[in-house]
């Protein structure tokens, strides 16, 4: 059985520590990722805010955004104090703002620099270093381009590649459009695994069901799911039994909420607004009876900024959702 057959993608303004904690209540085994953390923020902006996480969140990877090997090494050394299980370099984000910092998908055009970044990261930490990338950028979208990039970076010691099976268009499309408009080309990712069998290849992009995960795992080492998990976090409830061989019964949605309540109260007592911890619960009852009512009530709680966090949530849970 694969060590990490399933992971949840790093998502800006989504995969913060609170959402990761909640996901860990649903699945004990799926690999979680932080939001992309830029080297500038880590070096100059109070790294405790960005890097701290609850011990329950293991296994967890920190994703870095940067292109300067020295700054990446410095960031990795800072992160090493927090006991992450993996460091991941973002070479896939198509955002124009990110490109201005020479971060993300634009780095696919500089495989030697990416290799230097990987070497610096590996020298700074003892945990595995991986790269998340696209299958290409703009008109550089041939299989040969992708294979050449992977081969160059692999020579620096990178053994794991998470590949979003779409190319990135660096001009003319928004980040949101870049997640849907360029066509998916799973065959390119499958071929990379065939041609480089010693590398760990993880497929990302357009995956929304566990049956799709199972099918893709016949050809790659792992699958990463992104927005679908945020839209429907309960999707992960069957993961531990299906892909990790765990015997733990699937938790019910109500059980999960009761498990999350002490965390909400703990965070509230530490000065974290109720809205910050419950905003990730909108999709818990996705496609279930009362789902619209659930989202409406969560939104009302966020707007009221209640000072009685656990009692308010407990009352909401007990009201209609057994």
Q: CB-based contacts of 306: which residues, under 8 Å, 6+ apart? A: 274, 312
Mean pLDDT of the chain: 93
Measured in whole angstroms, the distance separating CA 119 from the mean position of its chain's CA atoms is: 23
For residue 8, give the H/E element and its range. strand 6-8
CA dihedral 195, 199, 200, 206 (to 10 degrees): -40
| Greater pLDDT, 99 or 197 | 197
| Active site members | 93
DSSP 237: G
Q: Which carries the bigger pLDDT value, residue 301 or residue 310?
A: 301
Q: What is the phi-psi region of residue 313: left when phi exceeds 0, alpha when psi lies from -120 to 50, beta otherwise?
A: alpha
- Contacts of the segment 299-307: beta carbons below 8 A, 24+ positions apart: 301/274, 301/275, 302/274, 302/275, 302/278, 305/273, 305/274, 305/275, 306/274
**How many Å apart are CA 105 and CA 232, to the nearest integer?**
27
Q: What angle do CA 6, 12, 13 make, to 5 degrees?
A: 110
Q: Which parts of 88-136 fold into alpha helices (H)?
A: 96-100, 111-124
Q: Quick one: pLDDT band at residue 306, thresholds 50, 70, 90?
A: low
Give me the pLDDT at residue 1, please.
53
Of residues 261 and 119, which shows the higher confidence score?
Answer: 119
What is residue 321's predicted lDDT score, i.e. its pLDDT?
A: 54
- pLDDT value at 312 more than 70: no
Q: How confident is the model at residue 101 (pLDDT cuts 50, 70, 90)?
A: confident
Q: Any idea which residue has 């080297």 for tokens?
A: 39
| Token pair belonging to 50 | 């960005």
- State the average pLDDT over residues 153-165: 98
Task: Give the 3-state secondary structure of residue 78.
Answer: helix
Burial label, 55 (beta-carbon count in 10 A; 0-12, 13-18, 19+) = exposed
Q: Measuring CA to CA, which residue among 84, 157, 81 is closest to residue 123?
A: 157
Strand partners, 31: 7
Q: Considering only residues 307 and 80, tell me which one the structure prediction assigns the higher pLDDT.
A: 80
**Whether the bond into 55 is cis, omega within 30 of 0:** no
CA-to-CA distance for 299 and 136, rounded, in angstroms?
39
Is residue 193 within 8 Å of 219, Cβ to Cβ? yes
Residue 65 scores a pLDDT above 60? yes
Beta bridge partners of 61: 33, 86
Task: With beta carbons less than 8 A apart as the criterion, state whether 72 and 120 touch.
Answer: yes
Neighbours of 304 (CB within 10 A): 11
**Peptide linkage before 161 cis (omega within 30 of 0):** no
- Check if the beta carbon of residue 216 is closer than 8 Å to that of residue 186: yes
Greater pLDDT, 302 or 110: 110
Of 34-48, 75-89, 192-206, 230-244, minimum mean pLDDT range: 34-48
**pLDDT at residue number 305:** 63
For the record, the structure tokens of 216 come out as: 């893709």
pLDDT of residue 3: 73
CA distance 134 to 161: 10
Q: From CA 204, how far away is CA 226, in angstroms rounded?
A: 8
């Amino acid at each position: 059985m694969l060590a990490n057959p399933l992971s949840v993608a790093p998502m800006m303004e989504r995969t913060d520590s609170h959402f990761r904690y909640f996901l860990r209540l649903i699945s004990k085994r799926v690999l979680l990722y932080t939001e992309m953390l830029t080297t500038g923020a880590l070096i100059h902006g109070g790294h405790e805010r960005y890097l701290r996480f609850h011990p329950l969140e293991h296994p967890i990877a920190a994703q870095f955004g940067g292109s300067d090997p020295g700054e990446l090494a410095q960031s990795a050394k800072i992160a090493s104090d927090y006991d992450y299980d993996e460091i991941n370099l973002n070479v896939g984000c198509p955002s124009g703002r990110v490109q201005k910092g020479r971060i993300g998908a634009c780095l696919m055009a500089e495989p030697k620099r990416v290799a230097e970044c990987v070497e610096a990261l590996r020298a700074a930490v003892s945990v595995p270093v991986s790269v998340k990338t696209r299958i290409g950028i703009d008109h550089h979208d041939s299989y040969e381009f992708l294979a050449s990039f992977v081969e160059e970076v692999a020579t620096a010691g990178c053994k794991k590649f998470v590949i979003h099976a779409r190319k990135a268009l660096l001009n003319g499309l928004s980040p949101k459009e870049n997640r849907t408009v360029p066509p998916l080309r799973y065959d390119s990712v499958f071929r990379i695994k065939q041609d480089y069998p010693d590398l760990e290849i993880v497929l990302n992009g357009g995956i929304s069901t566990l049956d799709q995960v199972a099918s893709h795992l016949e050809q790659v080492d792992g699958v990463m799911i992104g927005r679908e998990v945020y839209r429907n976090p309960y999707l992960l409830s069957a993961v531990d039994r299906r892909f990790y061989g765990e015997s733990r019964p699937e938790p019910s949605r109500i059980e999960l909420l009761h498990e999350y309540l002490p965390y909400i109260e703990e965070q509230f007592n530490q000065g974290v607004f109720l809205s910050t911890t419950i905003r990730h619960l909108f999709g818990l009852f996705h496609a279930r009876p009362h789902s619209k009512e659930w989202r409406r009530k969560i939104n009302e709680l966020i707007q009221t900024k209640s000072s009685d966090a656990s009692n308010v949530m407990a009352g909401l849970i007990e009201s209609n959702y057994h």
